[in-house]
Amino acid sequence: MENNNKVLLAFGIGALTGALIGVLFAPDKGTATREKIRSAGVKLSDNIKDKLTKGKNKLESTREELMDKLDAVDEKIRELV
């Protein structure tokens, strides 16, 4: 799980760096360049928030499944005792 976080962070930093370099070397006015940088930052931020939300939902779903299985095991143990 920790490796996944590192990979996601590295990917995000790489994407942001690539976007910034591409925008900075493009022949545009300063105001247009700043707007492109802001837009790219917002898009990246939204993408990260979306991935975090999906990950959180998946984690909650897995937790609920495990709790249901644990309850079933607990019931079987109580029946045997």
Residue-wise pLDDT for 57-66, tens only, equals 999 999 999 9
What's the total number of domains in the chain?
Answer: 1
Comparing C-alpha atoms, which of 1, 51, 41, 39 is closest to residue 17?
Answer: 41
Q: Residue 4 and residue 1: Cα distance in Å, rounded? A: 5
pLDDT of residue 68: 94
Q: Is the dihedral of CA 74, 77, 79, 81 positive or negative?
A: negative
Q: Please, which pLDDT band fits residue 1 given cuts at 50, 70 and 90?
A: low
* pLDDT over 90 percentage in the chain: 28
Residue-wise pLDDT for 21-55, tens only, equals 877 777 777 788 788 888 888 988 898 888 889 99
Residues spanned by the domain of 13: 2-80
